[in-house]
Amino acid sequence: MLDYRPGDAWRLRDLTWRFPVRRVMLTPELARTWLARETLSGWPRDPAQVTSYARGLREGLWRPEPNDLIVMTEDGRLVHCGLWIAAIAESGLTLPVWVLELPIPVAEQLLRIHARFNKPLQMTDDLEPPDADRK
């Protein structure tokens, strides 16, 4: 589980020091496969935003970077960044992405922490975990 001390702020990027991150060449076909899997987060994707991201990818306006982590459980369930995956599927491009793989209990704890703040995961969030999630 995640180890907290009272007063500690926490960031998603802190997990990259403790759990594996791998670079994957994400094809549209693989993206659709990932999107079809069970997800843990339940955050909705806005179709207009997916289309906008896909257009930006096709026009070369931007590309996923290492800090745009796709977060999955070790058994392949999507936790975070379905928007990126959907945009790559729609764009028709094959692009490198970075995938952070978490044990299921850590992913569930991560989602509880962020649910407290009623917002999706962000790499730079400074969040205080709920007391129940502190050791």
The domain limits of the chain are: 12-133
Residue with tokens 């594996």: 20
pLDDT at position 93 is 97
pTM, rounded to two decimals: 0.73
Average pLDDT across the chain, whole number: 78
User: Looking at per-residue confidence, does 112 or 103 come out higher?
Assistant: 103
Of 16, 18, 45, 11, nearest to 31 by C-alpha is 45
Is the pLDDT assigned to residue 74 strictly greater than 80? yes
CATH of range 12-133; options 3.30.9, 3.90.70, 1.20.120, 3.90.1530: 3.90.1530
Beta bridge mates, 10: 127
> Within a 13 Å sphere around the CA of 65, how many CA atoms are in the beta-carbon half?
4
pLDDT at position 53 is 92
User: Looking at per-residue confidence, does 25 or 3 come out higher?
Assistant: 25
Separation between Cα atoms, residue 17 and residue 4, nearest integer Å: 15
- Residue 58, SS3 per DSSP: helix
